[in-house]
A and B are shown apart, each in its own frame.
Chain A
Amino acid sequence: MDALTRRPVSTASDAETADVALAAAGDARAFERLYRAHLARVNSLARRILGFDDADEATQDVFVRAWEKLGTFRGEAAFGTWLHRLAINVLLASRTSRSKREGRFVGDEGMEHRAKGASGSPELRMDFEGALRKLPDGAREVFVLHDVEGFKHREIAEMLGVTAGTSKAQLHRARMSLRGHLAG
């Protein structure tokens, strides 16, 4: 997977391989160890794609789904890689069914206004991840998948059901908006 060349998932250890086998056989304690090892990665991804309000519940959904699907894991890739891709699928599927509680920028004009204001007034400058959460859904998802997770536009297009051109346009939109929030 291209994403791993940029933001690698931790290499599977022998202990993790053993835990995967135990968990697949129904050992909840082994699965809890896998959960502890990968929680930060999955929760951070959920927070960036869905926002704080929905991230924890979505993280639980990811691990429950992983538990259910462990029998399909063949060990062809590292468990972390498999879990990460599963997490993206779960998060993207859930994003359409979750209500969006945070305010979003309506369009490019509003985005530019907010970015300039933040840049000119340090005391008003929100942190980078906070600004990320304020992006429109499409721009945020593409930005996270491309610039944070390292996926290619063709992969993102497939995940989101858009064209590669749309993915590129959304990425540029997101980057232009985030220019004023680099300090945080």
Chain B
Amino acid sequence: MTDEWTSQLSEYLDGDLQVDQAQLLEAHLATCEACTTTLDELRAVQERAASLEDSEPSRDLWSGIATRIRAAHTGETPVVDIESRRPRRRFAFTATQLLAAAATLVVTAVGSTMLATRSESPSPGAATVIPVGIAASDASYDTAVDELVHALDEHRSQLDSATIVVLEQSLATIDQAIAEAVQALREEPNDQFLNSHLAHTKRQKLELLAQAVTLATAAS
């Protein structure tokens, strides 16, 4: 077996050799066991490649796709990295979060009613105002989130799958941002930007949950 012959084996296998070249190679193969063995191995590789099975990824990829195509549809940038503003930290905000951060009051619909009145059954379509301070109080915040999540769970079946995917993706992003802000504040508890960001992000979560409850109850 020499490189002169082995280098032609793949082309021979694929039928790409000229007729005269193929005849010369076949004459060599008749006398060379090593080249014949190599040819058989190359053929086996070729057959193995053609029989490879396709398989799905280990995790679902649709949520990320849904978020991106929804953002493309609405023209909203899904994630804004503010690394350049805080180079030592890594935070990500949606464009909606940044807009919400500028608000002084959060006006929402049915879910907000629950926050203000603590009524047990929300009335769809009723609008109210959430005081800014609600996000600053851990106890009030946790209670409000729990109530909204409970209300959302009751009506979740009214939301279509794409909306649920986007909602869960958005909540995961917000929760991640909250967790990162809390972690950062452990190091710099007096950082005004971080404190403001945490409060706004928490309020953003309330607003998102309230909007979801509104959608779900309106569809009931």
Distance of A168 Cα from B42 Cα, bound (Å): 14
Indicate if the CB atoms of B9 and A172 lie closer than 8 Å: yes
Distance of A43 Cα from B53 Cα, bound (Å): 12
A67 with B52, Cβ < 8 A, contacts A29-B162, A59-B57 known = no
Least Cβ–Cβ distance between A72 and chain B, in angstroms = 15
Indicate if the CB atoms of B50 and A147 lie closer than 8 Å: yes
**C-beta contact mask, A49-66 vs B, less than 8 Å → 1, else 0?**
000000110011001100
Indicate if the CB atoms of B61 and A60 lie closer than 8 Å: yes
Least Cβ–Cβ distance between A142 and chain B, in angstroms = 11
Number of A-B contacts (CB under 8 A): 94
Indicate if the CB atoms of A28 and B54 lie closer than 8 Å: no
Indicate if the CB atoms of A44 and B7 lie closer than 8 Å: no
Is B5 at the interface (CB under 8 A from chain A)?
no
Indicate if the CB atoms of A168 and B11 lie closer than 8 Å: yes
Interface of B is mostly: helix
Distance of A60 Cα from B59 Cα, bound (Å): 12
Is B197 at the interface (CB under 8 A from chain A)?
no
Cβ < 8 Å to A, chain B residues 45-75: 45-46, 48-50, 52-57, 59, 61-62, 64-66, 68-70, 72-73
Q: Find chain B residues with CB under 8 A from A105 CB.
A: none
Q: Find chain B residues with CB under 8 A from A59 CB.
A: 57, 61
Indicate if the CB atoms of B65 and A168 lie closer than 8 Å: no
Indicate if the CB atoms of B62 and A182 lie closer than 8 Å: no
Least Cβ–Cβ distance between B36 and chain A, in angstroms = 14
The 3 closest A-B pairs by CB, nearest first: A147-B49, A172-B10, A44-B54
Identify the B interface with A (CB < 8 A): 6-7, 9-11, 16, 38, 41-42, 44-46, 48-50, 52-57, 59, 61-62, 64-66, 68-70, 72-73, 160-162
Q: A48-B52, A175-B42 are in contact. List 15 more A-B contacts (CB 8 A).
A: A7-B50, A26-B73, A28-B162, A29-B160, A36-B62, A39-B61, A43-B54, A43-B56, A128-B52, A147-B46, A168-B11, A172-B9, A175-B45, A176-B42, A179-B42
